[in-house]
Every structure is written in C-alpha cells, then in structure tokens.
Structure 1
Amino acid sequence: MATTFLEFISGLFGWVYFILWSLSFYPQSMLNYTRRSTSGTTVDFPLINCLGFTAYAVSNAALYYSPLIRAQYAARYKGLTPTVQFNDITFALNGIVMSIITTSQYFFPRVWGFTPSKGNKPSRFILGIFFGCIVGVIVVIFVVLGSPERDSAQGSIHSWVWLDVVYAISYVKLVVTIIKYSPQVLINYHNKSTQGWSIVQILLDFGGGILSIAQQGIDSYLQGDWSGITGNPVKFALGNVSMMYDSIFMWQHYLLYHDAEGKTDENDSLLGGSLDEERQERRID
C-alpha cells in the first residue's frame, strides 16, 4: 500500500515539475515580445541552453530507450534501472524548442520587430564553454571507440563503454547549468536592476527543482538503493544548482534591487530610459 502511494507521488511530482519547468521557458520570450526588446538580458543564457537541453535530451533518451545502455547501467549499478522518466525527455525537447525561439529574438531582432540592443552577441566565455563541451564529448567517443569492450554490458564494470559517452553528454548539461546563469547575474548587478529579466520563469524553475529532487529521492527509496542518485548525478545536480541561482535572482529582484529608481517594473525598457520617461515625453508632445 505504502509503495503504491509513493509510486503515485513520484509520478505526480514528475509531471508537476515537468509542467513547472516547461512553463518556465515561456515568460522570458513573452516578456521580450511584450517589450519589443531584449535589453537588460543577454543571449548567453538561451544560447547555451540550446546546447544544454540537446545534451539532456540525447542522454535521457539513451538511458530510457537503449537496451545496450540500460544493460550497461544495470551491470554497473547492481542490476538497477536508470531513474530517468519519460517526462524528462519531453521536458528536454520542449527546452530545445523554446531556447531556439528565445535565442532567435537576440540574433534576429528586426524579424521580431525588436529594437536592437546590447547583449545580442554571445560572450567569448560562453562560446568557449559551448565548443569546449563539444570537443570534450568527441574525445570521450574516441576513447570508447578504442575500447574492445565498448559493446559489452559486463565491460561497463571495469572498462570504457557507450554508457560513458552518454554520461559525457549528460555532463554537458551539468556544465551548462552551472555556468549559464552567471552572465545574467552579472548583468543584473551591472544594471542594479532585474528589469527585463522575467522573475516568473525563476519562480517556476525553483518549484520544479524542488519536485525534481523529491521525485528522484522517492524513486531511489523505492529501489532501496541511493545509486538512483549517484547513477544519475546530472538530474540531481540540475535541481540543486538551479535552485541556488534561483535564490540569487529572487534576492536580487525582491530585496537587493526592489527599490531601484526607474527600474521597478520588469516590463520597462532599458533602451535610452524607462517607459515612464517615454510616457512623459508623449504627454509633453
């Protein structure tokens, strides 16, 4: 009875966090469209997200669908199965689509009818991480190709196998999550404002992180082994790292820059002044 209830709660948490995290992709692109501007934000965040969620989708799909990868996982982790759920895959796919759409608002502002603004070009730091991650995965692929036991389930215990390539791809998502928020934190600090950066997406992301970790904990408890977390460290880290950054953004928005003069509304524009100034000019005219 208790097991059935926990399985139900795990499934419920999974779909609720999937909904929260999936919805969190929409507020920023909608806010950009409403303001007809991407000012106050940087393309670094959605651009690196394109890479991160592609890696997350590929690694989750392999752990969920591939018989070979699942067999190698079971051999390495005492016969257990990966704690990847179908909603993890659909979440990642939704993330790819929305990240591409949001990135296009920075690279093609005139197509969207936006006023071009600063932050439309990716930083060298983000580009370095972007291509560095790709090179890292390629190196692991060549290492695995050189392993004679790469296609063996039992070989995963003591040798390089295709499961390690899946892990390398999944760690791309972890690296992306660790660094992707940093440029926006610095932009907010520089502007002394969170204006243009949607706090709604942060609140949704924070709620999703709590439920994601809770679901993984329940699944590991039901398996009677915490390798459900150690065997899928990226999913566990995603929730924790995201909540850490979410806390910083909430602190900036609600406490640190709450009373910033002329920048109290995230819908205001940072291009040449606030919307209040624009409205005043219209009244004078």
Structure 2
Amino acid sequence: MGFLEFLSAVFGVIYFTAWSVSFYPQVLLNFRRKSTSGTTVDFPLINCLGFAAYATSNLAFYYSPLIRAQYAARYKGLTPTVHFNDIAFAAHALLLSVITTSQYFFPGAWGFTPSKGNRPSRFILGIFFGCVVGIVVVLFIVLGSPERDSTQKAVSSWVWLDAIYAVSYVKLIVSLIKYTPQVIVNYRNRSTRGWSIWQILLDFSGGILSIAQQAVDSYLQRDWSGITGNPVKFALGNVSMLYDLIFMTQHYVLYRGADGKPEEADSLLGRADEERRID
C-alpha cells in the first residue's frame, strides 16, 4: 500500500468516526434535558429517509456486480468510489436517526416533556413523500426499459444504475434542506439552546475529511470521474459544511450565551398544550 492509499484509508476511518459520533450529542442532550424543546423533529425525521437511501445506494455500488459493471461502462472502466466505511456509516446513521426521531414522536416513552417541535412541518412531509414518489417513477421507467440489465447500453439507455442514482439523489435532496427548519428555529428563538453544537463540530470535521478522501481516490485513478460519478458523496460533504458554518455562527457569534426569549421558550410548551386541548 502506497502513501496515498494509506492516507485515503486514514481519512476514511477518521471521517467515519467523526460523522458517526456526531449523532450522539443531540440524543444525549435531549435525554439529559428530558425534553426536545428548542429543536424540531424535521431534522431527524428527514434524516431517516436520507440515510435509508444513502445506505441502499452504497450497498448497490459496493456489492452489486451489475451496478458496478454498468458504472464501469458509463465511466470509462472506473469503479465507484464507495468504501465499506461509507456503508457502515450510513447504517449507523440510520439507526441513530430512528432513535432520535423516537424521542420526538414518543416523548412519553422517554419521560420527556412534550414540545411544539414534535410535529413535522408540511415542508418536510412534502419533501419526504415527494422523494418516495420520484423513486417510484424512476423505477417504473427502468422496468419499462428493455436494456435495463445491459452493460453495453449503460451510456445511452435507462438501466438499473439510473434507479440507484435516483435513490442516491434522495440523500442529496435531503442534505440540501434538512438543516433549514432548525436554522429557522434558532433564528426565531434567538438562541441555539437545546441544539447540540458538538454534533455540528464533528459533522464539519467529517465533511472535510470525506471530501479529502474522495479527492485522493480520484487522483489515484487519474480521473476526476470519481467525483462526477459519485456526486452525492461530494455534495454531502460540501452542503453539510455550509450549514455547519451557519450553525457555528449562530452559536458562537449571533446568539452566544443566549438562553432565548423567555416568551418563546414558554410558547414551545404552551402551544403544544393548546394543540392537545384542541385535538
């Protein structure tokens, strides 16, 4: 193993560790506070869909001989830049996202105080079901293509590789929007109270190393199709880091040391109580 291969492996291990550990601070903070106030279920809920899609596409790129052959036919004989640590990370992230989501949907089981953020927004629900419909549509298109199992026609026809890309793009869409509701909540509260900054710092570190690993792998192949052929992994790191910078600005600059507006903090519970009485 050469130096660059070793460096790629090290980057993979560290980014896998950083991203994986980043899912624990919010779960533990919620548990310690016995509440999810100040945060919204939108983030962990849409993460469940995103990481289910990410795990599925990574498994296909890594294990499926047909998908790998169609990828090679489309990208000049290259192999997908997917590592086993990508699969392990996606599976672990999906599990932690499900656990975190359960804290919002089943607060009583966790012994939590109910919060207004326990109900998903229409925006996130629309994205959730819109992505599912999009995947189903692409699957029907691929099923209707007579060349779907072909490797020779992978460049010009609809094949199973396109179905896997459709699944992987769900993760990209989720990454583009999943942090937005929490950014807005922090802005309205004038505080990041309840939102763990440690998950953001770890996520930022993992994003840098994920992109670095992909760049090293592409350089070793002497072809940047390693990035263009796997845009989700590349965009995942970039988009996450942009949002991380926003959260760090909110936490360390804009709302540093702020506990939030008292009336807003009270309303997180008051509105929830009111909604239950209406229901």
Give the shorter-chain TM-score range. over 0.9
TM-score, scaled relative to structure 2: 0.93
Residues 1-285 of structure 1: pairs in structure 2 closer than 5 A: 4-260=2-258, 262-263=259-260, 270-271=265-266
Q: Deviations over 1:80-115 (max 9, x none)?
A: 000000000000000110000000000000100000
CA distance in 2, matches of 1:271, 1:23: 31
Q: Secondary structure at the match of 1:119?
A: helix
The aligned residue for residue 272 of structure 2 is none
Q: Secondary structure at the match of 1:58?
A: helix
The aligned residue for residue 271 of structure 2 is none
Residue type at the aligned position of 2:246: I
Q: Deviations over 1:233-260 (max 9, x none)?
A: 0000000000000000000000000042
Contact 1:39 1:117 in 2 (8 A): yes
TM-score, scaled relative to structure 1: 0.91
Deviation of 1:155 (Å): 1.2
Is the alpha carbon distance of 1:134 and 1:272 closer, same or farther for their aligned partners in structure 2, counting shifts above 3 Å?
closer
The alignment-based identity, stated in percent, is 73
CA RMSD in angstroms, aligned pairs only:
1.5
Deviation of 1:270 (Å): 3.8
Contact 1:42 1:183 in 2 (8 A): yes
Residue type at the aligned position of 1:215: Q
Q: Secondary structure at the match of 1:59?
A: helix
CA distance in 1, matches of 2:198, 2:152: 47
The aligned residue for residue 277 of structure 1 is none
CA distance in 2, matches of 1:218, 1:256: 36
CA distance in 2, matches of 1:239, 1:270: 33
Q: Deviations over 1:60-88 (max 9, x none)?
A: 00000000000000000000000000000
**What number of residue pairs does the alignment pair up?**
266
Is the alpha carbon distance of 1:272 and 1:159 closer, same or farther for their aligned partners in structure 2, counting shifts above 3 Å?
closer
Is the alpha carbon distance of 1:246 and 1:134 closer, same or farther for their aligned partners in structure 2, counting shifts above 3 Å?
same
Q: Secondary structure at the match of 2:126?
A: helix
CA distance in 1, matches of 2:40, 2:176: 16
Contact 1:117 1:271 in 2 (8 A): no
Which blocks of at least 5 consecutive residues in structure 2 are unaligned? 269-279
Which blocks of at least 5 consecutive residues in structure 1 are unaligned? 274-285
CA distance in 2, matches of 1:49, 1:154: 36
